Chain A
Amino acid sequence: MKAPAFDYVRARCLDEALALRVAGDDEAKYLAGGQSLGPLLNLRLARPSRLIDVRRLPELAGWSDEGAMLRIGAGLTHAAIEDGVLPGALGRFLASVARGIAYRAVRNRGTLGGSLAHADPAADWVSTMALLDARLEVRSQSGSRVIAAADLVDGPLSTRLAPEELIVAVRVPKGSPAARWSYRKFNRKPGEFAKAIAAFCVDPERQVCRAVIGATDGAPVVIFEAAELLTSDAACDAAVAAAGFRPGAFQHQVHAVMLRRARLALAEGIA
């Protein structure tokens, strides 16, 4: 199918983008890489009045090292992250997650911020950033605020962002040198939407031992005290049941198996 009619404007700077959004109507949307919005437009599931293109905004580009945190511009593509532009052990973990996102042709244009704002429950960054306790820097013309990544999603394709708000950057804790991560997802074919996601973040020096169960019916389920899950398959199965999946059902099984595999990957030191 073909997209419905809409207007398009390319913003030259962040302030212009925010001003365009507030001056426009409620049916306007920001457009970044368009790799999620593009399909929704063609399927006519999205019918914006106007798209405000933020893909080339300099304020959304690049990344910076802020000591304890990595500040990643919302406009960074999955491919750039896959290719290792982000430094250190966290950068390598994020690169391994990025490699599993859709297909290279999609990763070349799709962006970190766009994926988070789109809020597909099966999206890799939605679960990963919730796991890592990332903070989203959000701007609108009336000001700025910070949202915890774990609080972003409130349902499938739905976030707590106000319509005029734009994610400009994601701050991710780098962790101590002892920090370790693992990430597993189930899909029948590489690149298709995940049926189940599970991941761990363990950093003893910061008293962090978290897990996430993703590709749910809505927001990812973060388990903030996951130490028990690291030692027991039964605890993994119980956590998946507590996340709302009925034991015995396919959904429970695939999530539980991913959680077990993520636990083994962490123990073996493979992200």
Chain B
Amino acid sequence: MKSITLELNGERISTTALPRTHLADLLREELRLTGTHLGCEHGVCGACTLEIDGAPARSCITLAVACDGSTVRTVEGFDADPVMQALRAAFTEHHALQCGYCTPGMLITARDIAMRLPWADEARIREELAGNLCRCTGYVGIVRAIASVIAARNSANGGR
């Protein structure tokens, strides 16, 4: 076992894991943060997407030991975040989820798109979402939800 210290959702935690344990399993099985979902477990489906050191990452292909000393933010860690609050409301309003399995990863990616690409149009939003699969085929609602949050942020910033 290796000891691991993380800044996890604003809290400093210390735990241990085998080198083979990926970050999502550590979060779900040891730390009981089950908001992070596991789909394909080889980096394709995007369900396990969370933030490591401020940037979206796949927790299923990132070893927990490799994150020792990192800041990790899961979907549970955004309750006070205004962009995530707006995205959650927009996902509800635009019916951007059905079964909800992809939603945690979708929200992390959506927030990254809204903050990093405030000029993104529908085509760019779709390109950026290519790494998050929704098998309820809910992309129309998801794209609309993200576009609405981008538009609201831009008009709040005085238009762009």
Contacts and interface: CB of A to CB of B under 8 A. Distances in A.
A105 B46 contact: yes
Contacts of A35: 43, 58, 61
Interface in A28-59: 31, 34-35, 38-39, 41-43, 51, 53, 55
A4 interface: yes
A108 interface: yes
Given A104-B131, A105-B49, A105-B131, A38 B61 contact: yes
Contacts of B52: 108-109
Q: Is the interface of A mostly helix, strand, loop or mixed?
A: loop
A108 B57 CA distance: 7
A2 B66 CA distance: 16
Interface in A78-131: 79, 102-106, 108-109
A103 B128 CA distance: 7
A258 B18 CA distance: 45
A191 B68 contact: no
A206 interface: no
Interface string B59-78: 01111011010000000000
A178 interface: no
Given A43-B42, A108-B57, A109-B57, A8 B130 contact: no
Interface residues of A, number: 32
B62 A34 contact: yes
Given A79-B55, A104-B128, A105-B49, A38 B63 contact: yes
B131 A191 contact: yes
Interface stretch (B7-15, B19-27, B79-87, B147-155): B19-27
B60 A42 contact: yes
Contacts of B66: 8, 10, 31, 34, 53, 55
A39 to B, nearest CB: 4
Given A39-B43, A106-B58, A8 B65 contact: yes
Given A104-B109, A108-B57, A38 B62 contact: yes
Contacts of B42: 38-39, 42-43
A2 B61 CA distance: 10
Interface string B100-137: 00000000010010000000000000011011100000
B2 A34 contact: no
Interface magnitude class on chain B? 20 to 34
Interface string B36-62: 000001110010010010011110111
A3 B130 CA distance: 26
Contacts, number: 91
A238 B57 CA distance: 42
Contacts of B112: 104
B123 to A, nearest CB: 10
Contacts of A39: 42-43, 61
Given A35-B58, A51-B19, A104-B128, A2 B63 contact: no
Nearest to A5: B20
Contacts of A42: 22, 41-42, 60-61
Nearest to A53: B66
Given A3-B20, A6-B20, A102 B131 contact: yes
Contact of A106 (B20, B25, B43): B43
Residue of B20, B25, B132 contacting most chain A CB atoms (<10 Å): B20
Closest 3 CB pairs of A and B: A103-B131, A38-B61, A8-B19
Given A1-B41, A105-B46, A105-B49, 12 more contacts: A3-B20, A5-B19, A34-B62, A35-B43, A38-B42, A38-B60, A39-B61, A42-B41, A43-B42, A55-B66, A104-B112, A109-B52
23 contacts: A1-B41, A4-B20, A6-B19, A6-B20, A8-B2, A8-B66, A34-B62, A34-B63, A35-B61, A38-B43, A38-B61, A39-B61, A41-B20, A42-B42, A42-B60, A102-B131, A103-B46, A104-B128, A105-B109, A108-B55, A108-B56, A108-B57, A190-B130
